A and B are shown apart, each in its own frame.
Chain A
Amino acid sequence: MSRASTVALRLSNITKRFGPVLANDRVSLEVAQGEVLALLGENGAGKTTLMNIVFGHYTADEGRIEVFGAPLPFGQPRSALARGLGMVHQHFTLAENMTVLDNLLLGTRPLFALRSGRAAGRKRVLSLAEEYGLRIDPDMPVAALSVGERQRVEILKALYREARILILDEPTAVLTPQEAEGLFATLRRAVKRGLSIIFISHKLNEVMAIADRVVVLRQGRVAGALAISQTNPAELAAMMVGNDVPVPVVQKTREGDVALRLRDVETSGQRPDLRGLSLELVAGRITGLAGVSGNGQAALAALIAGLAVPCSGRIEIAGREIRDWSPAAAIAQGIARIPEDRHHAGTIGDFTLTENAVLERIREPRFSRSGWIDWHAARAHARTLIAGYDIRCPGPDARIRLLSGGNMQKLILGRVLEEAPAVILANQPVRGLDIGALRFVQEKLLAARRRGAAILLISEDLEEIMALSDVIHVISKGRLSPGFARGTMRSTDLGLWMAGRGFDDAA
């Protein structure tokens, strides 16, 4: 393998600061031609920042980038493109109303030309698709494609622009396990043809499966660089988090009555809508909701949070049907709601901790009397939460915008858990949190379970769902699978359900 010795991309001492936060701290790495380098790290470890610097979206404060031996100027996506760098982002950058072919040609042709070169373009697209095993119909509008197909278009777009180094940012986050296998097959073909691939991930088994070498980032620094053949998942995990991987201890609890029941609920106006969905949340049980994102999790969460009303079907709480359904009603019925988006739905950035702490309960007599707010009581409540939930902050009068995501989440958690709720809706409760905050949130949820709360845990992380849930449902295109008891399903089995198999009766 003589070509493997050619260095395709070399980063030297890349440093990037965002205000006081050091996102990348003297990061150096190399990618050889024809190899897959995995960039492994937790959320917030600096992986995406680093690749955005390479691609010119951000400008590094210090350091140097070389592509095939020649230095690459900072902050110029165009020259990165021209030098053969291609990036597939987590969030796709396709024009939905155009066809696949138009998306691929977009930006590659001069504005004014006698011949559009469409026919030649189509020919090349088809041969590239054939060569790399990327099945796709070039005349389909992108809007009609599944997430996995869109990803193929993104990869094809990079190949069409003659990318020599392909950067994939968390490419499997939106894929079922089966689709991920297809992606890996494509990547293997690509490296055989001499491309270099940087594969950003925080999933260990994927990294072990696809990569030749791995660079582990932790808190913006390189924590280790190893050949895959000389390491194992446990070692990589330890490198990622800096200490042992937390495996939450889930003790047995006594389950109680059904706290919340959905009977054949349907929604309208959500994408996708819920279709004849029935679900029981039982006291003392964590019900996990697995699924590829965008399959109705948002509709279900909105329904339980009170933001949406069912157009048919019933919501029952503690055995009684609820007719007037709204966020206020959900709060009054004792539903603790941890929203997916803590910045927009969970908190008001310009409000203080105190104001955010009482946001849901300002009308209750303990915080206001005949319309007048008792700020002493509100502030005291905020102090209780700060102490009880270990919220690191300047004080109860600090604007919540200044807090880290973990501390923001702790405030939301404290705000709802202090009320000893009967039902807890936890929508992606640990996404983007560092390991300490993650463990804290999971322990609080487990404590609420011991106390007898009925918990719905929605997450895109299958490992998290499998570790915490007593019963797992899979959601796909707005339909719900039967509940699977803890330990009865392997992740590959769940993966089949996530891909939509087994729902045939409702098709």
Chain B
Amino acid sequence: MRLEPIAAPGFARRVLPPLVALGATTLAGAALARFAGADAFAALGLIAKGALGTKFALMETLNRATPLIFAGLSVAVAFRARLWNIGAEAQLYAGALVTVLLGTGILPLPSPLLIPVLALAAILAGAVLLIVPAMLKLRLGVDEVVTTLLVNFIMLLIVSMLLEGPLKDPMGMGWPKSAPLVHEARLPRILPGLRLHWGFGLAVIAAFAVWIIDRRTVAGFEMRAVGAGEAAARFAGIRVPRVVLRTAALSGGLAALAGFSEVAGLKGNLTLDLSPGYGYTGIVVAMLAALNPFGVVLAALFVAAVFVGADSMSRAAGVPTYIADMLLAFALLAMVLALTMTRYRLRRA
């Protein structure tokens, strides 16, 4: 048996496999819950209710989706240009670190000035963190998969060192956490009384921005060209190294915004558990979305809902929360397979 590419997949070809994947994931979730000793369909209901059923649950899901959208966009932008950025986690922490460094009282600015300044500073930090590996790749041919992955650990250790040392909150009762942001640095809530903050709005705007860059600008055209056919792009006079660096700046900046919005929108300070691996989950999100920016928003919402819902279900039904991780892994496998099936058909050799 082998795969044969399909020249022009029809509508059904493109839509059915992902739907089947979604259905299969649901069934797998039911089976997992059953295996853990709960009533399968009740468990599925509990997941849905826990993720979307109440206003509080919905806001929780949207908040959880926010860093995933940023990280997913970051990965999608980079992967589209064949820059394999595995370092979104480090870039996220770089953004969070800069937000805390500048947002805890050094800059006496009013909110409308301070927040954009913090966001830009975070973007800059994330950009630098990816530009360095990108330059190593361009100049010396160092594999960026390795460098960006290792930077994750280095960054986490630096943050840990700072939180135990100079950045440690003197009022923190000895916990390794930073001082809280000043009030002017906090992102406001979108609606009064709801826990949803403007980080989510910013994430959706970022998705639009990425889509517009992709489709309407020369810069986005060149990034796509380098990713889809580097030799042809170079032949056509596109300066490939410059495009790679530009892509690195955009990708690193987007991931850093995840850290910025988590600190300024949600947590208010920096701790070592700021991110439960959002940077890595961003890869899952981007792959689920087939690297499409709007797909990233949907995939991030889906992943967040699974996490929040499975959390709540595990408490209600008394099954392990690991079900969420397994569900997500299954969803990814099913979706990657489904996306392959939209472009290839199986043939007996």
Contact = CB atoms under 8 A, between A and B. Distances in A.
Interface of A: 19, 59, 75, 305-307, 326-328, 330-331, 337, 339, 341, 344-351, 355, 359-360, 362-363, 368, 371-373, 375, 401-402
Contacts of B218: 362-363, 368, 371-373
A402 B7 contact: yes
Given A75-B349, A337-B235, A373 B229 contact: no
B217 A360 contact: no
8 contacts: A59-B349, A327-B236, A328-B237, A346-B235, A351-B228, A360-B236, A368-B218, A371-B218
A51 B237 CA distance: 40
A307 B235 contact: yes
Interface in B221-249: 221-222, 224-225, 228-229, 231-239
Query: Is chain B's binding surface mostly helix, strand, loop or mixed?
Result: helix
A61 to B, nearest CB: 11
B139 interface: no
Contacts of A305: 235
Contacts of A349: 228-229
Contacts of A375: 216
Interface in B182-238: 216-219, 221-222, 224-225, 228-229, 231-238
Going nearest first, the 4 A-B pairs with the smallest beta carbon separation are A348-B229, A328-B237, A327-B237, A359-B236
A345 B235 contact: yes
Given A19-B7, A359-B236, A375-B216, 11 more contacts: A328-B239, A337-B235, A344-B229, A345-B235, A348-B228, A348-B229, A349-B229, A351-B229, A359-B233, A371-B217, A373-B217
B231 A344 contact: yes
Given A75-B349, A371-B217, A402-B7, A348 B232 contact: yes
B232 A359 contact: yes
Contacts of B239: 328
Contacts of B219: 371
Contacts of A344: 229, 231-232
A327 B228 contact: no
Contacts, number: 72
A434 B237 CA distance: 30
Nearest to A374: B216
A327 B8 CA distance: 33
A348 B233 contact: yes
Nearest to A378: B221
B325 interface: no
Contacts of B221: 355, 362, 373
Contacts of A337: 235
A328 B235 CA distance: 8
B229 A19 contact: no
Contacts of B222: 362
B4 interface: yes
Nearest to A329: B237
A75 B2 CA distance: 14
Contacts of B234: 307, 327
A402 B343 CA distance: 13
Contacts of A373: 216-218, 221
A401 B9 CA distance: 13
Nearest to B226: A348
Nearest to B6: A19
A341 B235 CA distance: 11
B232 A346 contact: yes
Contacts of A307: 234-235
A371 B7 CA distance: 32
A21 to B, nearest CB: 11
Contacts of B225: 348, 351, 355, 359
B273 to A, nearest CB: 41
Contacts of B224: 351
Contacts of A368: 218
B217 A326 contact: no
Contacts of A355: 221, 225
A151 to B, nearest CB: 29
Nearest to A330: B237
B40 to A, nearest CB: 41
A394 to B, nearest CB: 8
A75 B347 CA distance: 15
A305 B237 CA distance: 10
Contacts of A75: 349
Contacts of B235: 305, 307, 327, 337, 339, 345-346
Nearest to A375: B216
B231 A345 contact: yes
A306 B237 CA distance: 9
A372 B216 contact: yes
B12 to A, nearest CB: 19
A337 B234 CA distance: 13
B180 to A, nearest CB: 40
Nearest to A341: B231
Nearest to A18: B4
